[in-house]
């Protein structure tokens, strides 16, 4: 049978939550099911396409005597099918199958937006305008927005030079195809429509506009703010040399024999070993070129590997595969815009194969001969053995390692460009890291590290690690920034010492010598630190004057009174001296609100930071400012994550951590400012999701049934008895919920709630009267496991559950999908009393228990025990060999 569901489009509600459940008696009616599909999709009689989802939006998941589906849908028409698989029926069983159908359709209380999601919507524009070299990079996890079948990114190519453009989307639940089109003619320049990852590569004409179209093939998922990853890069062709490699493939396979040799039977643990090399590979562009190597380990360890590359000209990826006793893995590296990253736990007795490969893309023919056929890369691989410390915890090794070389040819082809930004791991067992930089042309270097519990300094040496010191940055307890012009052909070493201090004892003349330094602890190393480093030839950095006076956001431009609001504008200012730029924007918030903000800029020549202050009246006509938060660094941007603001006055500060020191490189700085504000009904959830939207948060479990009197629980088919147990979703936002049932004859009821380390559950059993009043039958209000066991007369009953956090802690929020274990049994006295083992007394009150359960042996015995008011308790010792766990 088909039910047509019509979700209205009111122009406001983006998404609706639909929950459908069908209850049945599994023994006689387990062949029934649910599915949801678009009306124009053919549903095959054989249901062959149901399993892989090709003909449906969703199918009901199997639970106790239930099938339930939770989906999120945009406005439109849908068909809900209730079906029966005749081939699964037994002809001798009566064909009548009573079912209980429940459908809930409600607007999603919170829509996915710039403020409510940690990820961001796909950028509508990728542009080199405002960038001093016409370059633009974008590598983000973006919200999957399926309210439209496709989305478009406008691509603006700078007037000065043709550009190479690459886009790549990773394999995801939703299949995403790519098409690049000429904005003026609509002609498709390049496209990719594969199942899985898709990528395109094209040479674009200077001054023209293009469209990158993303087409989606998939359906909404209950996951709130579900994301996919996309990388895009636009890079000027000026200065790129169409060079060729001396060999046709990788210069030999990746030599990992050092790993096998050092990680063999005689390896010293704990410890680590490293493979590093800079090399080049011939570009195939549309055909992947691979190289691989094998290695083994003799103790548990973690492999951390990076490949630094130029994403636009040719990204590389890594795949680790293995087959061994009890182990089979295949893991692919994660693309992060300027490098690929891989972190994998390793086990002894397994041979691992690590493969490096170029990423194939659909290449548009025009201009292909202008691309270099040789790709440079820097490969780092490190195997770190577990020694039981925090430092070797695999969760601490999920951050990328610092590059050992600013592989200018690796991160920027032959353009001499290098730019990285991430939260990097502190090197293992070292107190100083070095990055080698050898520019082929006179270049400009800029580095930045945010304030951190571990103090990070910068030093730049020429010639060697101990060579001439040409620049330093020694700030304390604040940001660190360094700028310097690098001479062509010189070798530089960028030194990063890191340390922490004992209790501060004041300052000496040199600012630091009065502080007692100490080594960085494993826990501090685990946190990592944010670093951004960029190098580019000076002849690329042509600075222009601003078109007029500084264009900056003004007080009140951010609207905090008419919510939701979104401020998104491009601004600019002129660098006229080495003084740091600073500008503030004051705004007022009229109600409790959630704010999120970002500033996008060219890091190399116009690096900006953000701070948010609360402004209050200090009396005598003065104001006081209290710092609420600072921006979090990102690639060519800083961000303030979602933050709840109370009604009041606030000030957003934009500033340069360090003004441009070189007069020749001063010019007009363009930046984009985004500030979003939404009303905030603060729950335990960091993204303010309404409690009714628990299903929207991938909580695919079953909820505690609100009523037991249906065909799936208490019915004539079950003999008015029910018994079920399992994990149930707990409504930790409302902190309580109820379960009703009605009895027509004297019955026995038992409820058991095991101890839970997160949630303390209390339960109260009430009998309900016709006038609405209720009488307490029994309660379980302890702090351990809880149980209710009563004989109940015919009537209406209610079990009320209440939830509390353990040890004074707050309950988890809605997005945690917290579950509790529960077992419920209910049966008529007439059924229970007809069972002799229940009504008869035990033949003996003595428990025939063994003296001990022997090691490596199986023991089983039925033991009699008379039930009574005293809880049964017995102990049996277990003998375990010391050689085993």
Q: Say which residue the tokens 């199958």 belong to.
A: 97
In terms of pLDDT, which residue wins out, 207 or 734?
A: 207
576: confidence class by pLDDT, cuts 50, 70, 90: confident
Please report the pLDDT score of residue 649 as a whole number.
94
For residue 665, give the 3-state DSSP assignment.
helix
- Which residues lie closer than 8 Å to 465 by C-beta, 6 or more apart? 434, 493, 495
Identify which of 69, 74, 77, 1 has the alpha carbon closest to the alpha carbon of residue 39: 77
684: confidence class by pLDDT, cuts 50, 70, 90: very low
For residue 410, is it within any domain? no
222: confidence class by pLDDT, cuts 50, 70, 90: low
Are residue 251 and residue 368 in the same domain, yes or no? yes
Q: What DSSP string runs through 301-357?
A: EEEEEEEE--TTT--EEEEEEEEETTEEEEEEPEE-SSEEEEEEEE-TTEEEEEEEE
- Point out the domain boundary residue: 637, 666, 688: 688
Are residue 557 and residue 679 in the same domain, yes or no? yes
Are residue 699 and residue 736 in the same domain, yes or no? yes
Are residue 393 and residue 272 in the same domain, yes or no? yes
862: confidence class by pLDDT, cuts 50, 70, 90: low
For residue 578, is it within any domain? yes
Give the per-residue SS3 of 566-601. EEEEEEEEECCCCCCCEEEEEEEECCCEEEEEEEEE
Give the per-residue SS3 of 172-226. CCCEEEEEEEECCCCCEEEEECCCCCEEEEEEECCCCEEEEEEEEECCCCCCCCC
In terms of pLDDT, which residue wins out, 861 or 431?
A: 431
In this model, does residue 552 exceed pLDDT 60?
A: yes
Q: What is the pLDDT of residues 117-166, one digit of tens each?
A: 778 788 888 876 545 556 778 888 888 876 677 889 988 887 777 888 88
For residue 883, is it within any domain? no
Which stretch of 25-34, 438-447, 469-478, 744-753 has the lowest confidence by average pLDDT? Answer: 25-34
Please report the pLDDT score of residue 47 as a whole number.
47
In this model, does residue 215 exceed pLDDT 90?
A: no
Please report the pLDDT score of residue 201 as a whole number.
85
How many structural domains are present in the chain?
A: 6
For residue 615, is it within any domain? yes
The CATH number given to whatever domain includes residue 755 is 2.60.120.1050
260: confidence class by pLDDT, cuts 50, 70, 90: very low
Which stretch of 240-249, 327-336, 773-782 has the lowest confidence by average pLDDT? Answer: 240-249
Are residue 477 and residue 598 in the same domain, yes or no? no
What's the mean pLDDT in 581-597? 91
Q: What is the pLDDT of residues 440-462, one digit of tens each?
A: 888 999 999 988 878 889 999 99
Please report the pLDDT score of residue 793 as a whole number.
94
Joined together, the tokens standing for residue 772 give 């609405």
What's the mean pLDDT in 203-221? 83
Task: Name the residue range of residue 159's domain.
Answer: 112-238
Q: What is the pLDDT of residues 637-657, one digit of tens each?
A: 898 988 889 999 999 999 998
Q: What is the pLDDT of residues 699-733, one digit of tens each?
A: 556 778 888 888 778 877 778 888 888 888 888 77
Please report the pLDDT score of residue 60 as a whole number.
56
Please report the pLDDT score of residue 833 as a whole number.
77
Are residue 288 and residue 317 in the same domain, yes or no? yes
- Point out the domain boundary residue: 203, 238, 273: 238
Mean pLDDT taken over the chain: 76
For residue 286, is it within any domain? yes
Joined together, the tokens standing for residue 614 give 């609360």
Please report the pLDDT score of residue 814 as a whole number.
57
Please report the pLDDT score of residue 815 as a whole number.
54
Please report the pLDDT score of residue 448 as a whole number.
94
């Amino acid at each position: 049978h088909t039910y047509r569901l019509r979700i209205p489009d009111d122009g406001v509600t983006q998404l609706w939550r639909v929950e459908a459940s069908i209850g049945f008696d599994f023994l006689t009616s387990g062949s029934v099911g649910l599915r949801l599909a678009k009306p124009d999709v053919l549903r095959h009689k054989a249901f062959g396409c149901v399993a892989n989802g090709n003909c449906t939006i969703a199918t009901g998941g199997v639970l106790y005597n239930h099938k339930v589906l939770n989906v999120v849908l945009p406005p439109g028409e849908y068909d809900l099918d209730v079906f029966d698989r005749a081939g699964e029926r037994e002809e001798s069983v009566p064909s009548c199958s009573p079912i209980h159908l429940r459908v809930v359709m409600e607007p999603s209380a919170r829509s996915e937006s710039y403020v409510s999601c940690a990820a961001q919507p796909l950028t509508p524009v990728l542009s080199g305008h405002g960038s001093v070299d016409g370059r633009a990079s974008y590598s983000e996890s973006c919200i999957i927005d399926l309210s439209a079948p496709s989305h478009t990114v406008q691509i603006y190519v700078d007037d000065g030079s043709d550009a190479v453009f690459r886009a790549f989307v990773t394999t995801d639940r939703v299949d995403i195809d790519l098409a690049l089109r000429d904005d003026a003619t609509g002609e498709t320049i390049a496209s990719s429509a594969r199942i899985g990852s898709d990528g395109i590569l094209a040479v674009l004409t200077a001054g023209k506009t293009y469209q990158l179209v993303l087409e989606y093939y998939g359906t909404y998922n209950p996951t709130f703010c579900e994301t996919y990853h996309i990388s895009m890069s636009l890079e000027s062709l000026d200065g790129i040399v169409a060079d060729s490699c001396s060999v046709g493939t990788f210069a030999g396979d990746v030599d990992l024999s050092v790993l096998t040799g050092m990680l063999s039977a005689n390896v010293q643990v704990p410890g680590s070993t490293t493979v590093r090399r800079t090399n080049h590979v011939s570009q195939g562009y549309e055909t992947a070129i691979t190289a691989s190597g094998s290695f083994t380990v003799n103790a548990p360890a973690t492999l951390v590997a990076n490949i630094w590359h130029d994403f636009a000209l040719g990204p590389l990826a890594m795949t680790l595969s293995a087959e061994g006793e009890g182990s089979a893995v295949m893991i692919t590296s994660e693309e992060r815009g300027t490098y690929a990253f891989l972190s994998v736990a390793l086990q002894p007795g397994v041979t691992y194969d690590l493969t490096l490969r170029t990423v194939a893309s659909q290449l548009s023919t025009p201009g292909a001969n202008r691309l270099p056929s040789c790709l440079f890369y820097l490969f780092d691989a490190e195997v770190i053995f577990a020694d039981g410390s925090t430092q070797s915890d695999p969760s601490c090794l999920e951050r990328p390692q610092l590059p050992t070389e600013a592989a200018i040819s690796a991160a920027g082809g032959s353009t001499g460009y290098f730019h990285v930004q991430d939260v990097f791991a502190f090197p293992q067992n070292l107190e100083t890291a070095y990055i080698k930089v050898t520019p082929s042309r006179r270049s400009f270097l800029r580095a930045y590290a945010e304030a951190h519990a571990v103090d990070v300094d910068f030093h730049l040496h020429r010639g060697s690690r101990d060579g001439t010191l040409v620049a330093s940055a020694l700030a304390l307890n604040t940001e660190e920034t360094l700028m310097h012009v690098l001479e062509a052909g010189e070798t530089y070493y960028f030194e990063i010492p890191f340390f922490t201090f004992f209790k501060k004892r004041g300052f000496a003349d040199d600012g630091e010598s009065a502080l007692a330094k100490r080594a960085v602890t494993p826990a501090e190393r685990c946190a990592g630190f944010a670093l951004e480093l960029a190098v580019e030839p000076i002849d690329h950095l042509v600075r222009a004057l601003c078109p007029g006076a500084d264009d900056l956001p003004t007080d009140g431009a951010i609207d905090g009174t008419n919510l939701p609001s979104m401020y998104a504008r491009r601004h600019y200012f002129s660098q006229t001296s080495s003084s740091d730029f600073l500008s503030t924007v004051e705004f007022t918030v009229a109600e409790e609100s959630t704010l999120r903000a970002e500033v996008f800029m060219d890091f190399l020549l116009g690096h900006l930071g953000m701070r948010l202050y609360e402004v209050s009246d200090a009396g005598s006509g003065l104001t006081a400012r209290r710092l609420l938060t600072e921006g979090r660094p990102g690639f060519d941007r800083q961000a303030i994550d979602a933050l709840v603001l109370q009604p009041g006055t606030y000030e957003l500060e934009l500033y340069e951590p360090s003004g441009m020191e070189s007069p020749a490189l001063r010019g007009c700085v363009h930046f984009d400012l985004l500030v979003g504000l939404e009303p905030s009904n603060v729950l335990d959830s960091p993204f303010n999701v309404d409690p009714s939207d628990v299903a929207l948060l991938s909580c695919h479990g079953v909820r505690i049934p609100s009523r037991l009197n249906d065909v799936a629980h208490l019915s004539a088919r079950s003999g008015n008895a029910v018994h079920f147990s399992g994990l149930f979703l707990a409504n930790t936002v409302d902190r309580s919920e109820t379960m009703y049932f009605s009895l027509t004859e004297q019955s026995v009821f038992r409820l058991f709630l095991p101890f839970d380390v997160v949630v303390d559950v209390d339960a109260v059993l009430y009998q309900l009267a016709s006038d609405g009043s209720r009488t307490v039958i029994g309660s379980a209000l302890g702090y351990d496991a809880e149980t209710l066991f009563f004989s109940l007369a015919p009537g209406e009953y209610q079990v009320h559950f209440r939830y509390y956090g353990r040890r004074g802690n707050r309950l988890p929020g809605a997005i945690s999908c917290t579950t509790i274990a529960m077992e419920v049994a209910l049966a008529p006295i007439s059924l229970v009393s007809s069972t002799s083992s229940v009504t008869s007394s035990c033949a003996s009150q003595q428990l025939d228990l063994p003296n001990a359960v022997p090691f490596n042996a199986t023991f089983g015995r039925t033991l009699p025990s008379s039930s009574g008011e005293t809880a049964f308790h017995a102990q049996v010792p277990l003998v375990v060999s010391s050689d085993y766990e």
